Amino acid sequence: MARNSYLHVGDLVGAHGLKGTLILFSHTRPASAVAGYSCWWIGKSSESATAYPVKRCWQHGKRMLAELEGVTDCNRAESLKGLKVWIPESEVETDDDEYLWEDLIDCAVIRQADEQLLGTVTALEEYGAQDNLLVQTTEDAAVQGEWLIPFTEQIVVGVDLDEGIIVVDMPEGMEVCFTPKF
């Protein structure tokens, strides 16, 4: 399997206790879904990652804790702090109405009402209530800037990953989601 087919699903943010338990910030939805993978690849990048079988992973308050094979003390756990957790993309199942964030990057975003190209998705950001598409305008746009478009059923009315197109229905007032760059 090519290493570029791995997904970044979490970040190791520290050690918990003396027995090598790790504190994980999960990027999965829900956060506890990261516990469903039996092996994590840990490293700065997927190319440099090493496989660690997961012995146990659970939610503890607002954070996730994990015990990995080969990590048996706080010093070893601390040495992994700051590294990313990767899993093979082939292990991730999505429903027809679900998308991997990585698949949305570089998609063109088109406004449904006038079929205007708003720009290209450069990132996805989460701010609690919903995820948001960060869309950079095209180089030939009259005004350069970024759109921060809520990724909700009301706004995102179509996603065609084969064509790399996301269609959005932007109700009146959505221009406040645009930040011009001068």
Total of domains in the chain: 2
Asked if the structure places residue 97 within a domain, the reply is no
147 located within any domain: yes
Q: What percent of the chain has pLDDT over 70?
A: 95
**Distance separating alpha carbons of residues 107 and 21, to the nearest angstrom:** 39
Per-residue pLDDT at 94 exceeds 90:
no
Residue 138 per-residue DSSP state: P
CATH (domain of 156) = 2.30.30.240
pLDDT beyond 80 at 74: yes
Q: List the domain range (segments joined by +) for residue 113.
A: 102-180
Is there a single domain that holds both residue 117 and residue 82? no
Mean pLDDT for the chain? 88
Phi-psi region of 178 (alpha: psi -120 to 50; beta: other; left: phi over 0): beta
**Strand arrangement of the beta sheet that strand 145-150 belongs to:** 156-160, 165-168, 108-111, 117-126, 131-136, 145-150, 178-180
Q: Which of 66, 90, 114 is the last residue of a domain?
A: 90
| Domain end call among 47, 64, 90 | 90
Does position 56 have pLDDT exceeding 90, yes or no?
yes
Span 114-173, pLDDT tens digits: 999 999 999 888 776 778 899 999 888 888 999 999 988 899 999 998 899 999 998 888
